[in-house]
A and B are shown apart, each in its own frame.
Chain A
């Protein structure tokens, strides 16, 4: 963590927190307000989150996954569909991998656990607010696994799936093994920014592929209904 934010002017300040524990919202919003963020809304349930996000239009959204229905991953999917420019950071107490992956595929910028230190959390929010990806080791492991799964499935169908370049795999593995971007840059003899670009690219590929898959699924469903024109 503790990477430098290169361009302060790019930072978005209008922020919303979704969490069903008021205690947590209070603590977090205190820290964030001290840091210059403006908390434009908070929500404790999925329904509230959808309603208030639509009304308040936050630029940055901190999303807990385990909230009363609809769950955090589903809310992330819905909101990013409506507001693709929204920057979502998943902050969850539970490491439910499948939900985390779902939120990331839908376009969330990163994932942190609640037990991260306040400094780490603040840094993660700041980075999300500048549009950077927040890759923790756990998330890197998830994404690596997901690309391997997609490549394997594509091979089964004699297809070419979305693949990572060798360099991207290398970077992701190093992130998963706990190296900071700075250390990775040193190890690979590249710049800090290059490492960051690799990580962003990986996330973009995953999200792009997710959109393609969703579209394919919709088209297939459309054909099953006997009316393919409805899904164009």
Chain B
């Protein structure tokens, strides 16, 4: 697991150094007016030492112990408590009554990064109470400062906790994805083996008489189905954003029709259409193929060709069955064989496309669907 804290504490160190420079600058300006200038310099030195110490201690995970944070907060509180004595009554009456102004926020912020909002609010409260107690007058300005400190620690602590949870979730997701990818890899090996065996059954089965032929045919159909399934699930799980959920790959849908008697030809890559349109197109193809298996004869084979030409999809479904006259097909529609009239022509019209049928007795049938797509 990556240590999310390293960049956070690096940023914290930058903030702490900036606050320290600010505080030391302010102290230098008022050094001659302080009751004990030597002690004020010592306070500055303390800030430098603590800042340097935290720079070393907070950056490594194994050094981030509870006592380090406790010491950080404790030193801050002590410096606040001795502030009135060091500065003397003249300076304390001014608006900035602390020997470590601004920098006092650094320790509670470090706790916020370390343990989230709950623990950091305790640290912030310790610093705030010390500041309030040591303040000569408790005016709205002083209270507002401490409330701000408290809110700052709560906010930073809360976001750090959220960030930690999100990071953990993301890591779990990666682990799951990696596991799935590995599973998929193993499954592919198994599936490939199954495909090979099915191909063998099909190959050898044919030579074993009628029962063997039946086996061969079953093996072929299962092989086609398994192959279609594999292409379906063949998505890169490591890159979920690459999966397009708003479109369906028409090629993958067509593959489901592949069998011993149906051959599918498509372009490489994907042919994407909206899911609803894909369902309609598939229904029309299914209808045409059903007609082939019902009426073209037992030995008939069918070929489906998917092409994309400009803004148009062209789907051809040809069979080498017994065919018929076009008048016969029209009459079939009129006689209530709703399949052709409704499912094919109707669906294609709904899709804004056309369906053309060519047939002749003994010469099979050939449908051509033309469907507009948005380029």
Contact = CB atoms under 8 A, between A and B. Distances in A.
A146 B366 CA distance: 24
B126 interface: no
A137 B264 CA distance: 8
B231 A98 contact: no
B231 A142 contact: no
Given A101-B268, A115-B220, A117-B206, A94 B227 contact: yes
B200 A177 contact: no
B267 A24 contact: no
Interface in B277-325: 301-303, 305-310, 316, 318, 320
Contacts, number: 110
Interface in A94-127: 94-98, 100-101, 114-115, 117-118
A94 B267 contact: no
Interface in B226-275: 227, 230-231, 251, 255, 263-269
Contacts of A97: 251, 266-269
Contact of A146 (B206, B219, B267): B267
B268 A27 contact: no
Interface string A119-163: 000000000000000001111111011101100100000000000
Contacts of A177: 265, 303, 305, 316, 318, 366
A115 B223 contact: yes
Given A21-B193, A24-B196, A94-B195, A178 B264 contact: no
A176 interface: yes
Given A117-B203, A137-B305, A148-B309, A93 B192 contact: yes
A71 B328 CA distance: 51
Interface string A5-43: 000000000000000010110010000000000000000
A21 B223 CA distance: 16
Contacts of A198: none
Range, interface on chain B: 35 or more
A178 B251 CA distance: 18
B199 A144 contact: no
Interface string B199-234: 110111010000000000001100110010011000
B277 to A, nearest CB: 19
B307 A148 contact: yes
Range, interface on chain A: 35 or more
Contact of A93 (B196, B264, B301, B306): B196
A173 interface: yes
A118 B206 contact: yes
A24 B303 contact: no
Contacts of B301: 178
Interface string A68-99: 00000000000000000000000001111110
Of B198, B230, B267, B269, chain A has the most CB atoms within 10 Å of the CB of B267
Contacts of B224: 115
Given A23-B196, A138-B264, A148 B308 contact: yes
Contacts of A24: 196, 199-200
Contact of A137 (B206, B268, B303, B307): B303
A66 B263 CA distance: 21
A93 B199 contact: yes
B267 A145 contact: yes
A144 B195 CA distance: 27
Contact of A176 (B206, B265, B268, B366): B265
A144 B267 contact: yes
Nearest to A31: B203
Contacts of A149: 267, 269
A180 to B, nearest CB: 10
B305 A173 contact: yes
Of A94, A118, A146, A149, chain B has the most CB atoms within 10 Å of the CB of A94
A137 B193 contact: no
A27 B263 contact: no
A97 to B, nearest CB: 4
Interface of B: 192-193, 195-200, 202-204, 206, 219-220, 223-224, 227, 230-231, 251, 255, 263-269, 301-303, 305-310, 316, 318, 320, 366
28 contacts: A23-B196, A23-B200, A27-B203, A27-B204, A95-B231, A97-B251, A97-B266, A98-B269, A101-B268, A115-B198, A115-B202, A137-B305, A139-B265, A141-B264, A141-B305, A142-B268, A144-B265, A144-B267, A145-B308, A146-B268, A148-B308, A176-B265, A177-B318, A177-B366, A178-B263, A178-B301, A178-B302, A178-B320
Interface of A: 21, 23-24, 27, 66, 93-98, 100-101, 114-115, 117-118, 136-142, 144-146, 148-149, 152, 173, 176-179
- A-B CB proximity, top 7 nearest: A145-B267, A141-B265, A178-B303, A114-B199, A93-B195, A176-B265, A177-B318
